[in-house]
Structure 1
Amino acid sequence: MNHKKTLFCVSLSTLLFTAPAFSQVLPPPQSAEQTSASETGWWNNLPKEKKALYANAAAVSFVTLYGFADWDYGSAGFSFAHEGWFEKDSKYGGADKAGHFWATFALSDAFTGLYKHWGYDSHPASSYGAFSAWAVQALMELEDGTSKSQGFDWADMTMNTIGALTSVLLERYPDLDRKIDFRVEYAFNTKINGIFDDYSNMYYAVAVKLDGFDALENTWLQWFELQGGYYSRGYDTTELAKERDLYVGVSVNFSKLFRQHDYQKTGKLLEYLQVPYTVPKLHDKLN
C-alpha cells in the first residue's frame, strides 16, 4: 500500500463512520409501517440486499476510476512485487503491512455498521462487511499489478485478510471488542508530503482500554488505556536514517471522553484514530 492508498482508506473509513447510516450512532432502522411518507424515497424503499450491492459497486467503481486517474493503473503489464514483511531491508520496514491490516480492519468495521443499519443481523453484517472491505482492498492490489510503480504483493493480501478476519472476531466477541482498539496515529515528525501521506509520520498501535475490564470500569482507571505499537522511519525519505521501533505507552481514553459528552461519532472515530502527541512512548529500536 503506498501513501495515497493509505489516505484513500482513511478517507473512506471516515466517510462511512460519520455517515448517517452508522448503526452505533443512530437508532435502529424503522419498520416499513413506522416510516413516514417523507422518508419513502427510492433509496429507503430498496431492500437491504440491493443497498449492499450498490454500495459495493460504488466503492469498486470509485477505486478503479481514482486508480487510473492518480495511481498509474494500467501503465504496465501485470506484475508481482516482493516488498518483504517487517525486515530491515523490506520496502517500508513493515509499516505498509501494518497499514494494510489497519485499513482493512477499519473498512470492515465501517461496512459492518452500515449493513447493520440497513437491517442485517450482527453476524451476517460482520461477514458481509469484512468481505466488502477485503474485496475493495483486493481490487486495489490486483490493479496495483498493472502499475509500473507498484505490483501485486501477496504479503499485502495476507495482511488485508488478517485485518478483515479480526473485524469479524471482535464483532462476534463484544467483550473482547470493548477491551481493545487498533489505531493509527499521525505525528508531524518530519515534513514530507502531508497528513496521512508518509509512513515516517505514522504509528500503528493496539490500545488496551481499561474500562473494558469489569474490575476497573467504575474506577478512575477507566479513563486510561495502555498501548503497544510499531513504526518505521526513513524508508520513504532521505531525511532520516532507516529504523524500526516497538513502543509502549499510556494514554487517556479519548473515545470514552467524547462519548461521555455526547459526541458519539467523534468517539467512534477515535477508536481507530489516535489523537497526535497524546501517547508518551517508551521506544525499543530493532536491529
Structure 2
Amino acid sequence: MPWIAAGTAVAYTSGLMLLNEAWYKDSPRSSFHWFNDAHEWKQLDKAGHAWGSFHLSRLGVDVLRAAGVSEKKAVWYGGAVGFAMLTPIEYFDGRSPTYGASLSDIAANATGSLLVIGQQLAWQELRIVPKYSFHRTRYAAFRPNLLGNGLAEEMLKDYNGHTYWLSVDVAKFLPASSSYPKWLNVAPGYGAEEMVYNDPDSNRAAGFHAYRQYYLSVDLNWKAIPTQSKFLKSTFYVLSIFKFPAPALEYNRRQGWKAHALYF
C-alpha cells in the first residue's frame, strides 16, 4: 500500500494547488472563520460537494480492492477518501473574506462518502450513482468574476448550468430473469436558475428571482457495456461521472412541465 499512499498524496497536493489557482488566486486572505451558506445557490453547491466526494470515495474503494486490501478495509478506508480529501478545502474558504468554512459543505462531503459506504455494505456494489451535467447559461455574463469567464470556469462556478442526477441501475433491483435492458438507467435530477448573487436577498434586490428545477430522464449505464479492453473500461469509468445527454422531462414553478428533446 505505500505506493498507493504516495500516489494519492501527490495527486491530492496537485489538486489543491490547481484549485487554489482557479478559485482563490486573486482573492485576499483573512483570519480563519466559519460562515453559514446553507441557504445559498439553492443548495446546488452542496450537491456538487456530495457528487465530488462520492466519486473520490468510489475510486478509493476500487483502488484498494485492486491492491488486494481486505474487503472491509477497502470499503471503510476507501469510502472515507472523498470526505478526507474534500473537507480540508474548507480551510481555503475559511481564509477567504468573501466565503468562510462551511459546516453544510462538510455535511455534504460526508453524504457523498456515506452513499458509497452504505451501498457497498448493503449490496457490495453501487446501484445509485450521483452524476453531473452542464450547459452554458446567460447568467455568467452578468458576473463573470463570480460565475466564470469562459467554458472551463463556468463549468466550475456557474451553478445555473449545473444539474445533479441520481442515476439508478434499475436492472440491479429486478430479478435476474428480467428482460429490462441493463444499459438503461433512470435518473431524477435537480437544478436551479436565475442565481447571479449567492445571497438570496441580494439576488432579489438585483431583480433576479431564483427558482428550482426538477428533472426525470434516462441515462446510459456504462458498466453494462461488455468489453475486454482496459482502455475502454477506464474510459467508461471516467464517463460514469457524468450524465449522458438524453431526453428529459422538467418541472419548475415558472413554466410548469417542460419536455427537452436532448438535455445536457
Pairwise same-fold verdict (TM > 0.5): yes
Amino acid aligned to 1:244: R
Confirm or deny: 8 A CA contact 2:183 2:222 kept in the other structure: no
With over 3 angstroms needed to count, the CA separation of the structure-2 counterparts of 1:256 and 1:53, relative to structure 1, is: closer
**What's the secondary structure of 1:222's corresponding residue?**
coil
**1:153 aligned onto 2:137:** no
What is aligned with 1:253? 220
Map of 1:189-200 to 2, 5 A cutoff?
189-190=137-138, 192=140, 193-195=150-152, 196-197=155-156, 198-200=158-160
After superposition, the Cα gap between the structure-2 partners of 1:247 and 1:78, relative to the gap in structure 1 and judged at 3 Å, is: same
Q: Which residue of 2 aligns with 1:228?
A: 188
Q: Distance in 1 between matches of 2:193 and 2:177?
A: 36
2:161: which partner in 1?
201
Rounded to whole Å, the distance in 1 between the matches of 2:237 and 2:14 is: 25
Instruction: Give me the whole-angstrom Cα distance separating, in 2, the residues matched to 1:165 and 1:210.
Output: 21
The equivalent residue for 2:53 is 104
Shift in CA distance, 189/160, structure 1 to aligned 2, threshold 3 Å: same
Task: Return the offset for 1:258.
Answer: 4.0
Matches within 5 A, 1:66-77: 66-72=18-24, 75-77=29-31
Q: Establish whether residue 95 from structure 1 lines up as the match of residue 63 from structure 2.
A: no
Residue 184 of structure 1: aligned partner: 132
Cα 1:122/1:219, change in 2 over 3 Å? same
Deviation of 1:220 after TM superposition, in Å, equals: 4.5
Contact 2:215 2:248 in 1 (8 A): no
Q: Once the two structures are superposed, what CA deviation does each residue of 1:82-135 show, in whole Å capped at 9, x if it has no partner? A: 112xxxxx3211100111111101111112212222221222112222323212
The alpha carbon displacement at 1:236 in A equals 3.8
Number of residue pairs aligned between Structure 1 and Structure 2: 231
Amino acid aligned to 1:255: W
| Residue 9 of structure 2, aligned match among 57, 74, 79 | 57
| Higher relative contact order (CA closer than 8 Å, sequence separation 6+) | 1
- Alpha carbons 2:56, 2:82 under 8 Å: kept: yes
Q: Aligned runs of 1:10-25 on 2, under 5 Å?
A: none
| Mean Cα deviation higher: 103-112 or 201-210 | 201-210
For residues 202-229 of structure 1, the C-alpha deviation after alignment (integer angstroms, 9 at most, x for no partner) is 1111122222134376515434222212
Identical-residue share of aligned pairs (%): 18
State the match for 2:237 in structure 1.
268
Aligned residues of 1:258 and 1:264 also touching (Cα < 8 A): no
* TM-score normalised by structure 1 residue count: 0.69
Residue 180 of structure 1 aligns with an amino acid whose one-letter code is I
- 1:258 and 1:266 in contact (8 A); partners too: no
Q: Distance in 2 between matches of 1:146 and 1:285?
A: 37
What residue identity is the alignment partner of 1:100?
Answer: H
Cα RMSD, aligned residues only: 3.0
Structure 1 stretch displaced more, 153-162 or 208-217: 208-217
Confirm or deny that 1:162 pairs with 2:111: yes
